[in-house]
Amino acid sequence: KSNNNELPSPIVLRKSLKNYYDNNIIYAKHHINPACRNAIAILRSYKKNNNGKLKIIKAKRLAMRIDSELIRIDNNKLRITIRPNEYEYIDIVDKNRKYNEYSKYKISEVLLTDNKVCITFIIGSLNKPLINNNIIGFDLNFKTIDYTIIKDNEIVETNTIDTSDIAKTQRDYARKRTKIQRHIKNPEKRNRKLKESRHRQRNIIRDKLQKLTTKIVNDNSDKTFVFEDLTNIKKQGRKNKNNRNNKNNNEDSKASNKNNKSKRFRTDINTWPYRLFQRFIDYKSKNKTLYVNPEGTSSECPVCGEKLKHPIWKISECSNCGVNFNRNRLSSLSISVRGLYLCGTPFTVSGSSSWYSMRNNYLYHPDHVIIEDSNDCKKYVHNNA
């Protein structure tokens, strides 16, 4: 009732129960976290399997999860905190052939049932090495992924990976869901079809990113990966709610429209799977992954430090250098340079001879190319440009 007739999230439930739990429950405080997660998971499953109706639930199987803060392995025994300074010890059966390897890592969670205890570990959570002389920086965009490799203070390679098929998949499924909402009148059938569409889209995107990141990590296993820290980037996809209130005031409405992005941009940025790509790379790479401040990577020239202008989205125009650079590739260079600073090995592009040998790879080239036939000197336009 307090959540508009909807099931709350585990966090909302935990916040509402915290005072009651602290004053009335004598167990350790961390036990409330898995209790709330389990409660919401049970209710969601029950509601889904009972046509949205909620009734009193009977526990058919006893099980509980325990947070890692309440668990410790001590002398091949699992120590579980029940109350402050009160513990329960369970013998660990280490017959699993991978237990000795996994036990080196951090414990994630423990599942207790009526007949067994399951321990999960976060593999790869040990300190990963930092390769400070071999950096690969990525600039993530909606349709492309641009990267620059700097090795031993020299720019070795820059390239672009086409990811337009991922953006196309998202837009195709968005159009399918729009048709489903318009043409299917039966609510149950419509909801079922919408869930199927979202599930298929999620599986396709994850599959493509899994294959892409596996190939990237295998080809660059000896490098430190550097990304932009895009934690709050999706806030730009929120629609400005003040527009309706500012219709009468022309000046205020113009100012608010500048901050309010187009519908196409909001759709793209809200479905942009950048964090999934970063997480796959971080998980699969044997080396440490760095995250740099994204501010200014597209507005400051990494060669001379001059402020860049953007006549169109794809061009970075530097008045000091006097040339037009490819915006995305130049951003990847800035990200790589900032990654070197985090490694403690500053890199000055303008003072390195490698910049002049790789400079042409960063120049802007139009999408269309005019081809001239030497026989009849007729000009043909490529790609319908």
Burial of 17 (0-12, 13-18, 19+ CB in 10 A): middle
Continuous H helices in 260-326: 263-270, 274-284
User: Which pLDDT value is given to residue 254?
Assistant: 47
pLDDT top residue among 52 and 74: 74
Would you say residue 79 has pLDDT above 60?
Answer: yes
Averaged pLDDT score across all residues of the chain: 82
The C-alpha atoms of residue 115 and residue 127 are separated, in whole angstroms, by 35
Highest mean pLDDT among 60-64, 90-94, 138-142: 138-142
Would you say residue 382 has pLDDT above 60?
Answer: no
Residue count of the chain: 385
DSSP code of residue 51: T
User: Which pLDDT value is given to residue 213?
Assistant: 95
DSSP code of residue 375: T
User: Which pLDDT value is given to residue 234?
Assistant: 72
User: Which pLDDT value is given to residue 283?
Assistant: 86
Find the mean pLDDT for residues 150-158: 89
User: Which pLDDT value is given to residue 360?
Assistant: 83
Would you say residue 289 has pLDDT above 80?
Answer: yes
Choose among 139, 142, 165: nearest CA to 326: 139
The one-letter code for the residue type at 260 is N
pLDDT confidence bin for 256, thresholds 50/70/90: very low
User: Which pLDDT value is given to residue 279?
Assistant: 92
Indicate the range of 62-66, 77-81, 161-165, 306-310 predicted with least confidence.
Answer: 306-310
What DSSP letter does each residue of 339-354 carry, written as one string? HHHHHT----STT-HH
Q: What percent of the chain has pLDDT over 90?
A: 28
User: Which pLDDT value is given to residue 255?
Assistant: 43
User: Which pLDDT value is given to residue 308?
Assistant: 82
Highest mean pLDDT among 116-130, 197-211, 292-306, 311-325: 197-211
Continuous H helices in the chain: 10-24, 32-49, 99-102, 164-183, 187-219, 250-259, 263-270, 274-284, 327-343, 353-358
User: Which pLDDT value is given to residue 250?
Assistant: 52
Domain spans of the chain, in order of start: 10-60, 66-121, 135-164+216-238+266-343
pLDDT confidence bin for 301, thresholds 50/70/90: confident
pLDDT top residue among 140 and 242: 140
Render pLDDT for 365-377 as a digit per residue (tens, 0 to 9). Answer: 776 444 444 444 4
Q: What is the pTM of this model?
A: 0.68
Name 110's bridge partners: 66, 119
What residues contact residue 218 under an 8 Å CB cut-off, 6+ apart?
none
pLDDT confidence bin for 126, thresholds 50/70/90: low
Indicate the range of 110-124, 175-189, 348-362 predicted with least confidence.
Answer: 348-362
Q: What percent of the chain has pLDDT over 70?
A: 85
